[in-house]
């Protein structure tokens, strides 16, 4: 996988169209979590410092091709201005006369944010004409939005066919970190994996079974594996179809890859009955639901993880948002942090795992926190991501 980066092009005085993933959660028109904004700053600061005329594209939410005022990127532009230490302009459209006029006013070292690309249905349709309209605004294209690299949209894939395309620093860091998990990882390689459903991560299991030394499984998917092994998990969240879990169990056994499952659990009578939470062995679940791995399981997983040299943490061990069910994720997270301190490479998958890492305070100890959710999963499955393929294709056309 060979592509060019910002270091390979001269951007001074050039109009540089940058696709960032600024899809941040908003509450009362204020930014509730600035993680993705912070992740974009390295590339945007570099462009400003190298006197580029930076034009930022992003989506926000799912407006379904319609103008939805509450999903405007205007507050994001204001926050970027505060973070970058200078005014960041905003244009109320991403194509057409409004966008063109705003770009024409840019001077070297200035930054402009264009309105939500998903206000146009052509964005998600990867319409060639829409992609050309976006491309007409710039001299170079930079894809720095790993979180959307699995989408073949106009601003993530189509535009790269109409402009010289390179990777931003966040994109480069994501791909470098994730490649260490799929290309000759240092052994032992352990995957701590949680989340709701096995069926959503079958591809991850199948691909990583060729590489890992062991899995430590929690979350709702652990319930599915337990049920597939004949354990009565009561009213716990699990997949209705147990066939994928049984297939993975068989594959793991055939490859002699340990697939560690809970031996105890924190259960309750309902999701909201925190005061009824109780730690039990698996034969005492009854009609209750599993909401976290138990302390015995967490300690066993921690022992496995402390001995690892490569670790991926993708999905919490339980309902970490509630204090009664945080212990499993916390213990596993700090065991990974300890292994990292001792020389292991650790990558936290996006979404809930990253949120938990920040909430519990072990994020800074990790080698890399991925900003991708679906993109991270598809990369770990071994799939070709359209946004990355477009960068590779652009690099090949330059060499040709």
Closest alpha carbon to 363 in 373, 349, 374: 349
Q: Which two tokens stand for residue 376?
A: 């991270």
Per the annotation, the verdict on 49 as an active-site residue is no
| Active-site annotation holder among 351, 372, 373, 387 | 351
Cα separation, 367 vs 235, whole angstroms:
37
CB atoms within 10 A of CB 21: 25
Buried b (16+ CB within 10 A) or exposed e, 151-172: bbbbbbbbbbbbbbbbbbbbbb
H or E stretch at 208: helix 202-208
339 and 216 Cβ atoms separated by less than 8 Å:
no
At 266, list the tokens. Answer: 């924190």
Does the active-site annotation cover 374?
yes
- What order do you get walking across the sheet with 259-260 strand by strand? 259-260, 214-217, 189-193, 310-314, 345-348, 368-369
Three-class SS state of 112: strand
The yes-or-no answer on residue 351 being catalytic is yes
3-state class of 139 per DSSP? Answer: coil
Catalytic-labelled residue, pool 61, 109, 307, 374: 374
Do the Cβ atoms of 118 and 65 come closer than 8 Å? Answer: yes
Active-site residue flag, 53:
no
CA nearest 258: which of 249, 271, 268? 249
Question: 173: Cβ–Cβ under 8 A, 6 or more apart, which residues?
Answer: 368
Catalytic residue among 197, 201, 238, 330: 197
CA contacts within 13 A on the Cβ side of 47: 30
SS3 15: strand
Q: Which residue has the tokens 């691909």?
A: 207
CA–CA separation, 287 vs 310, rounded Å?
A: 38
How distant, in Å, are the alpha carbons of 122, 282, 381 from that of 387? 17, 44, 16
- The catalytic position among 4, 15, 19, 36 is 36
The tokens for 385 are: 């991501």
Torsion of CA 336, 339, 343, 345, to 10 degrees: -20
Assess contact for 97 and 107: CB atoms under 8 A. Answer: no
Give catalytic residues, as residue numbers. Answer: 36, 197, 351, 374
């Amino acid at each position: 996988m060979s592509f060019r980066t910002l270091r390979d092009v001269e951007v001074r005085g050039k109009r540089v169209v940058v696709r960032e993933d600024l899809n941040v959660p908003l509450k009362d028109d204020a930014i509730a979590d600035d993680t993705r904004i912070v992740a974009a700053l390295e590339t945007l600061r570099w462009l400003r410092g190298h006197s580029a005329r930076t034009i930022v594209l992003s989506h926000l939410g799912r407006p379904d091709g319609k103008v939805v005022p509450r999903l405007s990127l205007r507050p994001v532009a204001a926050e970027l201005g505060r973070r970058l230490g200078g005014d960041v302009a905003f244009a109320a459209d991403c194509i057409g006369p409004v966008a063109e006029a705003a770009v024409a006013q840019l001077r070297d070292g200035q930054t402009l944010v264009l309105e939500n690309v998903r206000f146009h249905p052509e964005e998600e349709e990867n319409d060639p004409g829409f992609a050309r309209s976006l491309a007409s605004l710039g001299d170079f294209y930079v894809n720095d939005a790993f979180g959307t690299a699995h989408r073949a949209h106009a601003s993530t894939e189509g535009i790269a066919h109409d402009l010289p395309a390179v990777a931003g620093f966040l994109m480069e860091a994501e791909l470098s970190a994730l490649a260490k998990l799929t290309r000759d990882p240092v052994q032992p390689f352990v995957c701590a994996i949680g989340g709701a459903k096995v069926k959503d991560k079958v591809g991850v299991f199948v691909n990583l079974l060729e590489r890992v030394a062991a899995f430590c499984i929690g979350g709702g998917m652990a319930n599915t594996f337990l049920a597939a092994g004949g354990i009565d998990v009561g009213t716990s969240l699990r997949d209705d179809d147990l066939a994928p879990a049984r297939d993975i169990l068989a594959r793991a056994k055939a490859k002699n890859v340990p697939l560690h499952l809970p031996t105890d659990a924190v259960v309750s009578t309902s999701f909201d009955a925190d005061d009824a939470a109780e730690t039990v062995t698996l034969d005492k679940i009854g009609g209750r639901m599993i909401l976290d791995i138990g302390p015995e399981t967490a300690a066993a997983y921690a022992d496995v993880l402390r001995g690892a040299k490569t670790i991926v943490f993708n999905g919490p061990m339980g309902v970490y948002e509630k204090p009664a069910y945080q212990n499993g994720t916390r213990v596993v997270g700090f065991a990974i942090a300890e292994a990292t301190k001792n020389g292991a490479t650790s990558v936290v998958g996006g979404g809930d795992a990253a949120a938990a890492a920040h909430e519990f305070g072990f994020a800074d100890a990790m080698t890399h926190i991925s900003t991708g959710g679906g993109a991270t999963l598809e990369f770990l499955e071994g799939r070709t991501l359209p946004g990355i393929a477009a960068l590779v294709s652009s690099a090949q056309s330059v060499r040709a």
